[in-house]
Amino acid sequence: MRIAKLADTAAYKSLKKDIESGMIGHAYMVISPDGVARKQFLKLAAASIMCDKGGCLACSLCKRVLERNHLDVKFYDITTKMTVEQAISIIEDTHTAILEGGRKLYLLDNCENMDLRVQNKFLKTYEEPNPNVTIFMAVTNENSMLRTINSRAKKLYINPFSSEELVQELMSLGVDKKSAEIAAAYSQGSMEKAEKMAENSEYQELFSIVFDILLSLKNSKQIVDFLPNRIFDKENINTTLDFMEIILSDVLILSSKAEIGLKIINRDFDLETIAEGFSAAGAAMAILAINEARTRLYYNINAVSVTERLLFDILEARYKWQ
């Protein structure tokens, strides 16, 4: 994902206001389950604070921030549990002199991996901040952080991206249009999920097979032919269920004539024909059946039995709720 894309977000606009009014806070919490968006946001935030032009992304200062070569900008990705000693060394560092002039920035991602003792250490730094030090804590979910930390940080929520935005971003990264559209539909607004999926052509194949089965499923005699398909194998069935849910959610939108954007924006996929087979209630029942299938898998019922039951339930939803 291009960093500049994050400049359109409400989270960035809120930070930008603080920078432009000279009121940069000492503690921000960046909140998003999307790991790619979070990391890019932290880089953009740091460049915007350090750059004389407010984050042009082109000058040598910006470049050094983005390449992690600026002496006063420190990134920490807390992928494993942070120890109290590590926390203390970061906190001590916040008391050292500014090397390049201006401000020192600490950008910490995946802060949910800080346990309560570590969070308590940081709390003190939050309460008595050093002037000209700003700490960004990025988390998937703010509830993983102490309430006292939550209340002292200014919150910056990065909202999920629309399917159109994700498609545009993926295509700018060189992904072809059809793959980008499938990935965007699947990723629920997350650039992290969309990128992962766009990199893997296996997903696109699975999606097409799932779509074709829903398109052609008309009577119970077909079910036995569909069962051996690899999309229902143990290793694929969870993805298959996610795909079915995306498709049937769009079918529900179409058959209820709701004015909500569809997730599947690629017109190569003939959603309308599937939608002709389902009333809105039928589509809703079929989505419920998918959730029941997930529950059965959770209780270790084998994938073949789960699939057989699911396909029967989808057919029943189709014909019983006309």
Which residue ranges make up the site for Zn ion (CB under 5 A)? 51, 56, 59, 62
Using only C-alpha atoms, the chain has a radius of gyration, in whole angstroms, of: 24
CB neighbours of 259 closer than 8 A, spacing ≥ 6?
none
Q: How many residues does the chain have?
A: 322
- Cβ closer to Zn ion: 49 or 290? 49
Sheet holding 104-109, edge to edge: 73-77, 104-109, 133-139, 27-31, 154-157
CB neighbours of 160 closer than 8 A, spacing ≥ 6?
34, 188, 189, 190
- Cβ closer to Zn ion: 57 or 264? 57
CA 311 – CA 221 distance, rounded (Å): 11
- Cβ closer to Zn ion: 51 or 271? 51
Q: How many Cα atoms within 13 Å fall on the side-chain side of residue 96? A: 14
Residue 54's φ and ψ, nearest 5 degrees, are 80, 25
If you ran DSSP here, which 8-state letter would residue 52 be given? T
- Cβ closer to Zn ion: 3 or 59? 59
Structure tokens at 159: 């909202």
Shortest distance (Å) from residue 253 CB to Zn ion: 43
CA 234 – CA 305 distance, rounded (Å): 11
